[in-house]
Structure 1
Amino acid sequence: MAARDQDDISPPPIKRRKMSNSSPPSKTSSGVQRDELRIYSWNVNGIDPLVQRPITSFFEPRGNVRGSSGSTVSTGLRDVLRRYSWPTLLFLQEVKIAPGDESAMKAVERAIQPSADEPEEAPSYKAFFCLPKDKYNARGFGRKYGVCNIIRQDFFDAHVERVREVDWDLEGRFLVCETKPFQSLPKLAIINLYAVNGTDAPYKDPDTGKPFGTRHDRKLRVHRLLQAECQALSSRGFQIVLAGDFNIARAPIDGHPNLRMYPKQHCVNRADFEARFFRRGTRLGGGSEGAEKRDTVEGDGGEVDEGLGMIDSFRHLHGDKAGYTYHPRGKSFGTSCDRVDMILTSSSLRDHLAEAGIHETPADRATSDHVPLYISLLSH
């Protein structure tokens, strides 16, 4: 199939919604907006190319990229932050840093700091890592997985309570940023996630290495655990933002040219994801034979619960507009792609949600096989 028209691949940025009873947004001299919380998410498929200097860029001279036609610019992490106008948070997935690799983590920390030739007011950032500890299920280069939260220093100092891991994951997939209230925004739990990819490969007991179901089983178990984590946070007064690679596409509109339907277990995984995170008042278990069977594989009793009723930010603001985040390398861009990366929010954040978008170009994909996505939450 021929590549889609470029206008379909890279739509112009949506206009900011007008918020009722709000003043015009104020910005610092560095262009950082004071009343806006901007969250970016990007599966980088290995962070090494973003911290090596010098590096030839995959960014093309379009959008916010400066340079004449045919020129190239650096794609270091600092350049990525500048390109996207100094986001409040940049969540990276699949960083592929081995546990204990202090030199790699320090390289990331150096790569996000202002350089000597930047204006004095250019923002600084802090980096936090969750790296895999599971030697049986996270093997290979850099133990394969790992996530990183990059947080703007001014926001961290004023509004972040803590950044923490979760105790039910050892594969380096989840990192929680808990904030204080931010102007009219409530306190937030913003979770960077790299969800399990469901396959028939064995899932192994992380202590003994003994096979314990499949990666499909583990994916469904993690759905349950993440849902419970969100419920516990909500009971403590947090509103939730989930940002990252969910390794699942929701509906036919989210897969091009087709949504993955085979083998059948992918449909079971999708139905379980929908019920747990989007529906409200849905009783789980009895209505989903496959999900119920899979949930009980790890011995948690398959207890019944209700869905979280979250908002899919891109779908909420863009309706049935097509947009994709996963563009595998080796195929023409736009010919085979899926929207597996998402940013979900608690329904109570609906009126704060001002923007949601995908930077869907080969330039923004850079050295990865995913493109970045983002949301803006406005205080009003």
Structure 2
Amino acid sequence: MSIPARNTIQDREISPPASTRRSKRRRLSASQDRSTASSKDHSTPPSQESITLYSWNVNGIAPFLQPSVASYLKPSDGKDAGQCTAKASLRDFLRRHAWPNLLFLQEVKINPEDTKTIRAVEKAVARQSSEPADAHDYEIHFCLPSDKFNARGFGRKVYGVCSIVRADFSERYVDTFRPVSWDAEGRFLVIETKATERMPKLAFINVYAVNGTDNPYKDPETGEVAGTRHDRKLRVHSLLQSECRELEARGFSVCIAGDLNIARSRIDGHPNLRTFPKQHCLNRADFEAKFFSDSTKQHKMPVDSAATSAKDVETKDGSLGMIDTFRYLHPEQKSYTYYPRSKTFGDSCDRVDMILVSEALKGNLREAGMHETPSERGPSDHVPLYVQLDFDDETSVPP
């Protein structure tokens, strides 16, 4: 387990039913259903290096710490497995999804001084002696809030991200785990990897982005009001963009994964895209301008996708030109990651969780999708999403 020093105890139209949706695989002759809750084989040839990353806003880690069970997702009464209740167990999630290399959790809601819960998470993802030989062990790394002015509510059980990393992947590839210097709310955690013969240096950023509101944002050092949460959201866009630029300048290809708290276009909101008040449109346009270049062409998106003109925002340094992995592979598919529990599943939903990669990784995309079922949502109000990157000599993808 690793907790960055700043956060240590001492320091203080609706998608079709899941069973009918098919996903695209690069260089595969047949599609495979990836939106059900059953296990998938992510194995690759020995000559190929592959990374599978899952991301999930769990809206509180506590319900996911129950022990693993062997009978997860068993059909009953003739029901399809995807309609059964998935156990809220991190270990079962990892097993069910074929032991991914990385699982990024957002909004874990752990008080940074709560060592008992931190240890419980560590135990929840560890390999058990009773498991078969092919079961994998995992380690955890947290970034929890240290901001005493902006992260005080609910007994300081707010925000926070956790990166769960398969132990063999960490040992072979990972060089550094670190927070970012410009955030104290526990929203960002960076993993930097080593380059290999086939794989470049990679930087994975676990993100729980600021939700723009009219509530005040306070200076984390003085406590003085320094604008609104909308202002802070825009500032974080700029800071994250600069972080990515610095990483790319150091030779890293970047992957941003998490809850971005932005629905990019009309196709990403059901029944409607949020356009009122106008500040949400400005936040969206700012996000588009900073992270994507010519996004309407790049992702085959409608011209009015940003719901306001990018001219409404000022960008001094241009765009990062990143790839929205899901939208790149599925330009016309209506799929969503946020399903509020206060409404019937599918009545209102948005794609606000994303996995973005540097354009240099576009040719390495094999799969991208999400598991849109009530069972996979579990106690959360978000469903998990995933991406698979392959590193070999064949890196072309469909135009």
TM > 0.5 between the two?
Answer: yes
1:275 and 2:272 aligned: no
Kept after mapping to 1: 8 A contact 2:289/2:310: no
1:95 maps to which of 105, 108, 115:
108
Kept after mapping to 2: 8 A contact 1:96/1:144: yes
Please give the per-residue CA displacement for 1:87-120, whole angstroms capped at 9, x wherever unaligned: 0000000000111211111100100011222112
1:333 maps to which of 322, 345, 353:
345
User: Which residue of 1 is the match for residue 23 of structure 2?
Assistant: 14
> Mean alpha-carbon deviation: is it higher for 33-42 or for 312-321?
33-42
1:227 maps to which of 241, 251, 255:
241
Kept after mapping to 1: 8 A contact 2:369/2:387: yes
Alignment of 1:43-122 (within 5 A): 43-53=57-67, 61=74, 74-122=87-135
Q: Gaps spanning 5+ residues in structure 2: where? A: 1-12, 29-40, 296-308, 393-399
User: Which residue of 2 is the match for residue 26 of structure 1?
Assistant: none
* Pair 219,153 (structure 1): closer, same or farther in 2 beyond 3 Å: same
SS at match of 1:135: coil
Distance 1:331 1:196 in 2: 23
C-alpha displacement of 1:320: 1.2
SS at match of 1:308: coil
User: Which residue of 2 is the match for residue 299 of structure 1?
Assistant: none
TM-score (norm: length of structure 2): 0.81
Kept after mapping to 2: 8 A contact 1:13/1:357: no
Alignment of 1:218-367 (within 5 A): 218-279=232-293, 291-292=313-314, 304-367=316-379
Kept after mapping to 2: 8 A contact 1:86/1:123: yes
Please give the per-residue CA displacement for 1:197-229, whole angstroms capped at 9, x wherever unaligned: 000000011112111100000000000000000
Which AA in structure 1 matches 2:134? E
Please give the per-residue CA displacement for 1:336-377, whole angstroms capped at 9, x wherever unaligned: 000000000011111100000010110110000000000000
Kept after mapping to 1: 8 A contact 2:15/2:334: no
Supply the RMSD in Å over aligned alpha carbons.
2.7
Distance 1:69 1:252 in 2: 28
Distance 2:383 2:253 in 1: 26
User: Which residue of 2 is the match for residue 25 of structure 1?
Assistant: none
SS at match of 1:181: coil
SS at match of 2:56: strand
Distance 1:5 1:159 in 2: 37
* Pair 186,31 (structure 1): closer, same or farther in 2 beyond 3 Å: closer
Kept after mapping to 2: 8 A contact 1:10/1:359: no
Q: Gaps spanning 5+ residues in structure 1: where? A: 20-29, 282-286, 293-302
* Pair 163,280 (structure 1): closer, same or farther in 2 beyond 3 Å: farther
Which AA in structure 1 matches 2:102? L
Alignment of 1:204-219 (within 5 A): 204-219=218-233
1:151 and 2:160 aligned: no
Distance 2:122 2:340 in 1: 28
Please give the per-residue CA displacement for 1:222-275, whole angstroms capped at 9, x wherever unaligned: 000000000000000000000000001000000000000000000100000000
Distance 1:69 1:253 in 2: 25
User: Which residue of 2 is the match for residue 133 of structure 1?
Assistant: 146
* Pair 71,348 (structure 1): closer, same or farther in 2 beyond 3 Å: closer
> Mean alpha-carbon deviation: is it higher for 260-269 or for 134-143?
134-143
Kept after mapping to 1: 8 A contact 2:15/2:335: no
Distance 2:51 2:68 in 1: 31
TM-score (norm: length of structure 1): 0.85
Sequence identity, in percent? Answer: 55
SS at match of 2:163: strand
2:201 maps to which of 155, 176, 187:
187
Please give the per-residue CA displacement for 1:110-162, whole angstroms capped at 9, x wherever unaligned: 00011222112311011000000011111223431000000000010000001
Kept after mapping to 1: 8 A contact 2:161/2:188: yes
User: Which residue of 1 is the match for residue 304 of structure 2?
Assistant: none
Please give the per-residue CA displacement for 1:266-298, whole angstroms capped at 9, x wherever unaligned: 0100000000000279xxxxx968645xxxxxx
* Pair 156,362 (structure 1): closer, same or farther in 2 beyond 3 Å: same
User: Which residue of 1 is the match for residue 192 of structure 2?
Assistant: 178
User: Which residue of 2 is the match for residue 370 of structure 1?
Assistant: 382
Kept after mapping to 2: 8 A contact 1:32/1:86: no
1:198 and 2:191 aligned: no
- How many residues matched? 348
Please give the per-residue CA displacement for 1:12-57, whole angstroms capped at 9, x wherever unaligned: 45253218xxxxxxxxxx97556210010000000001113489x9
SS at match of 1:150: strand
Distance 2:292 2:191 in 1: 22
Which AA in structure 2 matches 1:308? L
SS at match of 1:265: helix
SS at match of 2:136: coil
